């Protein structure tokens, strides 16, 4: 992982809430976790769109 110092404007109330919700120790860590989550979510959405109608899911009760 490549890390660099950067300066961004953040809504501090939102950043502090993210720290609490995500259970992390700092705003920096909250931003990293949030970015990883949004990238993973978008990749999942892209995969689902690409494979629409071709995937079959079975639940525990099936």
pLDDT score recorded for residue 39:
96
Alpha carbon distance 44, 38 (integer Å):
10
Parse the chain into domains and list their residue ranges. Answer: 12-50
pLDDT at residue number 61? 64
Q: Could you list the pLDDT tens digit for every one of the 62 residues in the chain? A: 888 999 999 999 999 999 999 999 999 999 999 999 999 999 999 998 998 878 777 876 65
DSSP 3-state percent helix, strand, coil across the chain (nearest 5): 55, 0, 45
pLDDT at 62: 54
- pTM of the prediction? 0.75
């Amino acid at each position: 992982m490549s890390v660099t110092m950067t300066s961004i404007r953040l809504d501090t109330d939102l950043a502090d809430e993210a720290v609490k919700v995500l259970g992390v120790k700092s705003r920096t860590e909250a931003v990293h976790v949030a970015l990883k989550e949004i990238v993973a979510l978008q990749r999942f959405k892209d995969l689902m769109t690409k494979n629409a109608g071709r995937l079959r899911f079975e639940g525990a009760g099936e």
